[in-house]
Amino acid sequence: MERCLACEAEGGLVERCLACEAEGVATPWSVGPTEYPRRFENRNMANLNHHNPANRRERERGLGLTSETASTVPTESASSGLAGSRQSEAASQARQRSTNLSVEMIGISKKFGGVQALKDVTFNVRPGEIHALVGENGAGKSTLMKVLSGAVRSDQGLIRIGGDDAEIVSPHAAHALGIRVIYQEMVLAPDLTVAENISLDRLGKVVDWAGIRAKAKAILTDLGFSVDPGELVRRLPVSLQQVVEVAKALSAETKVLVLDEPTAVLTPKDADRLLELVRTLARRGVSIIYISHRLEEVFAIADRVTVLKDGQTVATRNISDVTSSGLIDLMIGRPITQLFPRSNRTPGDEVLRVEDLRRDPSVKGISFGVRAREILGIAGSM
């Protein structure tokens, strides 16, 4: 195992140590295939629930939200066999400082033709926090994140990353700043392998195939998933494709990770796994921006929440200061008494009847009827 010569953090040999930012030494983040360190060994997912008061306190200390001194920040070194090492504790704190970045978006406006998608939006993310971004469809959430990730240029506004003004003119520029987005729609290459996808952005003319496979395997194992790096992405279930997206983001030096409706296509169980993964990343110091229309997810993982409506910022709140109905009121812009008010309709005659519909292998005899003026719900798991 290599060590950074400056701060002694463990890792493989690369240009710059992410723990202390010294050059020409090892780093715990960008590492060689066999040396990917198991930095945050706590696999007990129950302990990762940051609504557990102890964990929340721990994270708040990491976020600099409490007045306790840095020397009380718990480090992950205890489980990596270096317990008690003051040097590794210092390295861990240095890493925390260097990987956590704040995001400030100030006065962002964007028009698409006649549509004012964003109007003077202000949005701030603290280093290492999970910040939820919510709002009705068309509120401007995705556009705001596209501005942050360089996919869309804003007409007006300023972005500061880690306190420095940032010109994010392209996705490449965003990547260079450590900003990554995981969209709801897959952007993986389906006919490449898991390993090829994870290293795709960094493949040169000469590819160390064994190396990229080993690196992919190491990252996925570190995240707690067993996925064959040689498998074609299109053969994986959607949930594991999301995991590969996260692994891809982690294989680079990601400091700000945006997840735009990542659970929309997942089953509840897979969505839970993804949430655990998001918590793990936040504990590692990645700042997370989490877009979801599932408010229960927002309450489960977010530290703060910002509401957008019609392209404008409505409010930013600590998650502990809002209720679900309060959040919906902010999103809709008026108090609502019923989320889904019933209308008085009397269904008429049956206008459609389906009997014993079959199609191998998935449809095995389905029957239903629809009456005039009625809304028929069809439910089931994915």
Ligand X SMILES: Nc1ncnc2c1ncn2[C@@H]1O[C@H](COP(=O)(O)OP(=O)(O)O)[C@@H](O)[C@H]1O
Contact residue for ligand X among 138, 171, 211, 326 (CB under 6 A): 138
Residues 14-53 that bind ligand X (CB under 6 A): none
- Nearer to ligand X by Cβ, of 98 and 149: the residue is 149
Find the shortest distance in angstroms from Cβ 329 to ligand X. Answer: 17
Find which of ligand X, Mg ion, none residue 264 binds, CB within 5 to 8 Å per kind.
none
Question: What's the one-letter identity of residue 214?
Answer: A
Asked, as a colleague might, if the bond just before 190 is cis with ω within 30 of 0, I would say: no
SS (H, E, C) the chain: CEECCCCCCEEEECCECCCCCCECCEECCCCCHHHCCCCCCCCCHHHHCCCCHHHHHHHHHHCCCCCCCHHHCCCHHHHHCCCCCHHHHHHHHHHHHHHCCCEEEEEEEEEECCEEEEEEEEEEECCCCEEEEECCCCCCHHHHHHHHCCCCCCCEEEEEECCEECCCCCHHHHHHCCEEEECCCCCCCCCCEHHHHHHHHHCCCCCCHHHHHHHHHHHHHHCCCCCCCCCEHHHCCHHHHHHHHHHHHHHCCCCEEEEECCCCCCCHHHHHHHHHHHHHHHHCCCEEEEECCCHHHHHHHCCEEEEEECCEEEEEEEHHHCCHHHHHHHHHCCCCCCCCCCCCCCCCCEEEEEEEEEECCCEEEEEEEEECCCCCCCCCCC
What is the distance between the alpha carbons of residues 116 and 113, in angstroms, rounded to a whole number? 8
**Residue of the chain from 14, 26, 139, 319 that contacts ligand X (CB under 6 A):** 139
Provide the minimum distance between the beta carbon of 141 and Mg ion in the complex, in angstroms, as a whole number: 5
CB of 98 or CB of 142, closer to Mg ion:
142
Min CB(75)–Mg ion separation in Å: 37
Please say which residue, 48 or 117, places its beta carbon nearer to ligand X.
117
Stretch that binds ligand X, among 54-62, 132-140, 189-197, 369-377 (CB under 6 A): 132-140
For the segment 89-128, give every residue that binds ligand X (CB under 6 A): 112, 115, 117
Could you tell me the two tokens for 345? 């309709």
Find the helix packing angle between 238-251 and 268-283, rounded to 10°. 10
Smaller CB separation from ligand X, 193 or 292: 292
- By a kind-dependent CB cut-off of 5 to 8 A, residue 135 interacts, out of ligand X, Mg ion, none, with ligand X
Task: Confirm or reject binding of residue 140 to ligand X (CB under 6 A).
Answer: yes
- Give which of ligand X, Mg ion, none residue 327 binds (C-beta under 5 to 8 Å, depending on kind): none
Q: Which of residues 104-143 bind Mg ion (CB under 5 A)?
A: 142
> How many residues of this chain bind ligand X (CB under 6 A)?
11
Nearer to Mg ion, 144 or 301 (CB): 144
> Which window, 22-30, 59-67, 138-146, 210-218, contacts ligand X (CB under 6 A)?
138-146
The residue from 95, 141, 175, 255 that contacts ligand X (CB under 6 A) is: 141
- Span near ligand X by CB under 6 A; candidates 21-29, 141-149, 264-272, 313-321: 141-149
User: Toward Mg ion, which CB reaches closer, 96 or 149?
Assistant: 149
Confirm or reject binding of residue 280 to Mg ion (CB under 5 A): no
Give how many residues touch Mg ion by CB under 5 A. 1
Question: Residue 121: how many CA atoms within 13 Å on its side-chain side?
Answer: 32
> Of 77 and 142, which CB lies nearer to Mg ion in the complex structure?
142
Quick one: which of 75, 77, 142, 193 contacts ligand X (CB under 6 A)? 142
- Residue 139 Cβ vs Mg ion, minimum distance, rounded to whole Å: 8
Nearer to Mg ion, 142 or 239 (CB): 142
Does residue 21 contact residue 36 with C-beta atoms inside 8 Å?
no
3-state secondary structure string across 243-276: HHHHHHHHHCCCCEEEEECCCCCCCHHHHHHHHH
Site string for Mg ion, 140-169 (x = CB under 5 A): --x---------------------------
For ligand X, the binding residue among 12, 62, 127, 135 (CB under 6 A) is 135
- Give me the residues that bind ligand X (CB under 6 A), please: 112, 115, 117, 135, 137-143
- Give me the residues that bind Mg ion (CB under 5 A), please: 142
